[in-house]
Structure 1
């Protein structure tokens, strides 16, 4: 295009303040910009430094429905974390920068939120001047997961859904002058029934840090009483039509609707009709209200991402009552047969190979939230610059502006739904289906989205046939990948075969790590490789966790290009056999995953841009729309020689006095990988000595991971400062690290091996002499475990069961129920059995309300001849175990108790 579309120009002009004259607010000292600073973080992208309270994601957040009368509420809010009680707090902990998640460094807080806590946000706004008939809407881009809004301490409403936008009409809650906005957030992350994607409270490998609370833009907007709520546009290129739904609030029969489509500023089509007929048609057939002709349609594609402007007005007489600006793309996506009769993906009636990459949408400093709009757009532009035409947006819904950038740049998007929890707890199915439909409604108008991905690798999957068919019927303008990775191959071995893969789907789709393979051919379905690759390449000084870098395989930087080129040649062969799409894992490293083509901070590209573009040309014709922007800096090229082979050179630098923290950190890690423990201890101790804040979570996490011996400084820190460490890392974390080293140095060498005859009394005395009560508790547990698992010496097992749980009941390292069941089977001493029954009673009251725990407690009571009480507990266990495969074991035990028959194996007494 030679001209910018009007909507694109308008979006460039609209920023944060469209009726500021009504909303000048005197900010308290706490909410001023000079009170904010990003939390320290060892890795950040180039855009993080540009973030401040005055410019936090200031762009208009809803490009598909633009109004001029709005105000951005991003910036500093007050916050407090409370328990789960519903009372409105009176005091606040500090300020948080909205819309960055509370766990992120950019929020200025960087604290975790647990399921039993609530996060509260507060800020004031001035009541804007509203003309007669005007309303004030408060919009949220997304809040994870459940948000309750109060205005002037009166509850306005509640919304559940961590990825969907929502709004409240707050007009009737406003008062003259200042008005208090209060938002309460509940986010159970992976502990509730809510879709949570890859967020988990304890992230590792393919799961990441949570993003709780407000994580997309908050804004207010003036609208007339009768106004446009939303629009839905669906192109039909075969008929040259744009089908349009318009949903309005407070219909009035004297209003007309006027819709104007423009191409590069020139009107190409106008549609006018009475609003009442629109409303009637909407009630009868929500899938189509009216159509407008788009003559000689200029089609949208990655090769030519042409967008039309769309203006929608509500008109009374000659006066415009409400108006929104939007845009649309004319494109078609479906499955057709090519000239050889192979079912393939067709874009605009032309076969188009979908060469994609798996984009997670995480940022080191912002987690779910990109630091700036430029950063948000960067990811798409970088991926297209590398020669890809497709992004699979993986188990995350992005802000509307991400899809706007994809529309504008020309990127095909496979949009994953955010899966329900794997275990499908009560209520999770209904929540998933509600959020799935809301996601489809929210993103429907974006031409870039060509595929809905229902389930990923069976995560939380259920009713696949029904849901796949529902998605296809609800949105026939896109293709549906009902289950990507229904068959998952790792190193050519199939995990968990499926009986009916891809049922009702438009695709057959396999995942294969690391090397590509084809999905089976099925009539009417395109064949797709939904994930492959996962090739790990760590980049020193650009790692989230430099101890736990992960990939399906690891290669050196020098080997990566050859590996990727070989995979692409293989893809070309598979394409000739019928493959229509492939998704490489992944464009960017994400936290512990180091299998990106760029590092997590987007600072280093692991295959030079021109080289990876040349490789990808085998599958995508790189037209002018793929041309490199000379002003666009993607990243520095990786130094293929910067690896552990530099160890000797680094040792020389150390001997000459180099002692900066980054150098010592890296030197410590290389020493560990080289299994040079004495030097690792020396360098690690030097590193800890120069830390200004050793008790930050980041530093303690690293110290824990390099602490391997009792000579390491971290060992003494965890042993002597356990309470302080546990406050930051979690309960019993410090003691756990100390015990692991005690075991390695003082116990394992003396009890290992086939011919070992440990002198346990000598070991115990030595450990107690060195480590006092902590060592005593630990050695008692190890003795219990040894007699239990290794020698099956049941008398000594019972003795040390009692001695251990007398000291460690409240923080046992061993599974209480398992140990107590073994004791029940093998002990006869009434005092020991009574002690075990009390242990189980505490366990049930404090930790474990499982049917298995109830069963163990019941059997202990029964063996103690407390039959009536035992039967009551066994009945409780059976009630919890009903309809499960091993229910019969509980039924048998209950019957024996009622008949007075022993429930324990006689041959084991």
Structure 2
């Protein structure tokens, strides 16, 4: 397979909803893009677990400028940008990527409503990537470093009557810096994608009293039927108490008063538990008061649910939800959008991603090395989707970068820790790990109510709650341990190219294999899930995560196209497979077994010694070739290494066949890429492209007629242009085929 870089120049599309903006350049848009205007961009209150009725949304058109990173704020600006879309995104109206020598400046004006007079005004940012300085009317309010967490400033003392000027300066070196970046890259290619710089979540104002509720910390305890709640107060001497009201719909469940900044245990009798099949939420009202005088009030929600490890009836360590084992059928989600990059075009678009995963039959999403806006988790909470939350990856090349990583790790755990959907923290993904036992203990101390994955793929350090393996395409299962469950954190990645829904040149799009149509995709998907479900009992798999929910740029391995327009596999087959229901797979008889379980010797040569024109002839002298067991490949489950570089391999093997053979024969082959097979010098099969597992390849009539009783020569040629390499071949017969006598 060929893993080329995305082309730099892509087809241009004009967004009529943004007529004043420069024409963005993108190959595909989602259907929600046409709903976006400067007047209605992300109008929802952005913090659903701590809402206030009065607020002012600052999303919309801002001025922007790109200047030297050491230059002061500019006197003039380059144009308009639509906040909160990152400057690289088509929906921003700009689509530029700042270099590590530039700083991005934003500017807009705002007026504070007259009704807020005498109150304190807070300025909130959902997230800015990465290092942000904030000024109001020329007064520097402060600086925040962190690309995924929200932050606020009290702007009261900087305000003036009438219009106020807000400026934000942002420096974002992306992967040339030291901060956590996840899958962002200054040079997007292969499995890394277009970077996000600047403001990428909602910006808003809201009035509060001098003493106000700054945060809530909620932990359910279903075993004791209580919600543990801390109401954090800020802004001066906090009032003496908080009043808490819990509702289940219109019914009041509990009313309690207690101290601010203290952990309170609120009884929830006969708790209605939250689960993927029944995502029940309670409503919460919190008031901050001194005596009978109320200074602040917020509304929220929570759920009663428990995440833990336990032993099943066979004594296997499992992941439990509400004290019961639930096989977690998950899908990897990168959280990128063709029109918004890190920012979904609308709230409904975010909901649709989770709802589609639910409709496909998944009960879990692994949010891959990205932290989403709070409203994404709100939809996961409401729809009943378990979430494994990854920490965005970073290079960890210096002590400073480790400090920043750990600072943002703490903010992720604290900032998303109230959401019932989040059930596990994933600290590291495929390397970049350090001090893992220490960090597992640190996160455990921050949040003992959830599980911890110490490292998903590659490097396991023997700590945390799960042991997690990655394998493509078929899943592999580690053995569970006494105190750790076994999970397959990544597998799959089946590809299917759909013209009109691709990012750039189709030649640059890649996935593991290329499914011909929806039925073939569904069959391939069901086959992989069948393997995963088979690992439940042996060795004892607790969860399986398929890669991935959507295509992302040139990575064409999604269950949906990048524009979310097409679900690739047959929906019914995928739903059944995710429930563990599978069609009966046709049985076959091995005529010549592959080397998958019993390695067979082949004579072979590679590009270093190209084969002559008659290499496939029965009487060809292959005595000068090497001899080794198949499969041949590099970096996978091969028995013999093929090559470190792209090239070709030629293989020969003599097999003895009986006279009594079925009329219909096929090849069982796993190839990467462009395979041809000869029998006794006759071309018996030709298969372009590559596969990600063993597949049945039809045998030509000429090839079938060339088989003789006794000795037969199998000759195979396979090329390899880039990426993976693998080749193994056998002969099979469908069990229902009638036998013939030769």
For the 8 Å contact 1:464–1:503, the answer to whether it is kept is no
Aligned partners of 1:38 and 1:529: how far apart in 2?
43
Map of 1:893-908 to 2, 5 A cutoff? Answer: none
For the 8 Å contact 1:33–1:54, the answer to whether it is kept is no
Aligned partners of 1:88 and 1:263: how far apart in 2?
51
CA shift in 2, pair 1:374/1:134, >3 Å: same
- How far off its partner does 1:36 sit? 3.7
Q: Does 1:531 align with 2:503?
A: no
Matching residue of 1:677? none
Gaps of 5+ in 1: 1-31, 283-288, 487-497, 621-909
Q: Does 1:173 align with 2:158?
A: yes
The structure carrying a bigger helix percent of its residues is 1
Map of 1:383-462 to 2, 5 A cutoff? Answer: 383-421=357-395, 424-458=397-431, 460-462=432-434
CA shift in 2, pair 1:110/1:132, >3 Å: closer
Map of 1:59-458 to 2, 5 A cutoff? Answer: 59-129=44-114, 134-250=119-235, 252=237, 255-273=240-258, 275=259, 278-279=260-261, 282=262, 289-421=263-395, 424-458=397-431
Matching residue of 1:570? 531
Map of 1:545-564 to 2, 5 A cutoff? Answer: 545=504, 546-557=506-517, 558-564=519-525
CA shift in 2, pair 1:527/1:619, >3 Å: farther
Matching residue of 1:44? 29
Give the root-mean-square deviation of aligned CA atoms.
1.6
- How far off its partner does 1:127 sit? 3.3
After superposition, give the CA deviation of every residue in 1:409-457 in whole Å (9 maximum; x if it has no partner).
Answer: 0000000001222x52341100000000011111010000001000001
Gaps of 5+ in 2: 1-16, 583-742
Matching residue of 1:590? 552
For the 8 Å contact 1:532–1:585, the answer to whether it is kept is yes
Aligned partners of 1:584 and 1:130: how far apart in 2?
52
The structure carrying a bigger strand percent of its residues is 2
Matching residue of 1:788? none
Could you say which structure has the greater relative contact order, defined with CA pairs below 8 angstroms and 6 or more residues apart? 2
After superposition, give the CA deviation of every residue in 1:789-841 in whole Å (9 maximum; x if it has no partner).
Answer: xxxxxxxxxxxxxxxxxxxxxxxxxxxxxxxxxxxxxxxxxxxxxxxxxxxxx
Q: Residue 121 of structure 2 aligns to a residue in which SS? A: strand
Aligned partners of 2:533 and 2:116: how far apart in 1?
63
- How far off its partner does 1:559 sit? 2.8
Aligned partners of 1:297 and 1:37: how far apart in 2?
54
After superposition, give the CA deviation of every residue in 1:287-343 in whole Å (9 maximum; x if it has no partner).
Answer: xx1111000000000010000000110123333210000000100001100011000
CA shift in 2, pair 1:75/1:523, >3 Å: same
Q: Residue 455 of structure 2 aligns to a residue in which SS? A: strand
- How far off its partner does 1:138 sit? 0.5
Aligned partners of 1:598 and 1:562: how far apart in 2?
16
CA shift in 2, pair 1:250/1:79, >3 Å: closer
Aligned partners of 2:340 and 2:581: how far apart in 1?
34
Aligned partners of 2:61 and 2:118: how far apart in 1?
31
Matching residue of 2:444? 472
Moved over 6 A (4+): none
For the 8 Å contact 2:217–2:231, the answer to whether it is kept is yes
- How far off its partner does 1:91 sit? 0.4
Aligned length: 563
CA shift in 2, pair 1:449/1:38, >3 Å: farther
For the 8 Å contact 2:480–2:541, the answer to whether it is kept is no
For the 8 Å contact 1:337–1:343, the answer to whether it is kept is yes
Q: Residue 610 of structure 1 aligns to a residue in which SS? A: helix
After superposition, give the CA deviation of every residue in 1:685-724 in whole Å (9 maximum; x if it has no partner).
Answer: xxxxxxxxxxxxxxxxxxxxxxxxxxxxxxxxxxxxxxxx
Map of 1:463-502 to 2, 5 A cutoff? Answer: 463-486=435-458, 501-502=460-461
Q: Residue 597 of structure 1 aligns to a residue in which SS? A: coil
Q: Residue 104 of structure 2 aligns to a residue in which SS? A: strand
For the 8 Å contact 2:211–2:238, the answer to whether it is kept is no
- How far off its partner does 1:34 sit? 5.4
CA shift in 2, pair 1:116/1:260, >3 Å: same
> Which one of 501, 514, 518 corresponds to residue 473 of structure 2?
514
After superposition, give the CA deviation of every residue in 1:343-382 in whole Å (9 maximum; x if it has no partner).
Answer: 0011001111110000000000000000000001110000
- How far off its partner does 1:201 sit? 0.6
- How far off its partner does 1:132 sit? 6.5
* Greater C-alpha Rg: 1
Matching residue of 1:691? none
Matching residue of 1:580? 542
Aligned partners of 1:37 and 1:339: how far apart in 2?
63
Matching residue of 2:464? 505
Aligned partners of 1:550 and 1:477: how far apart in 2?
40
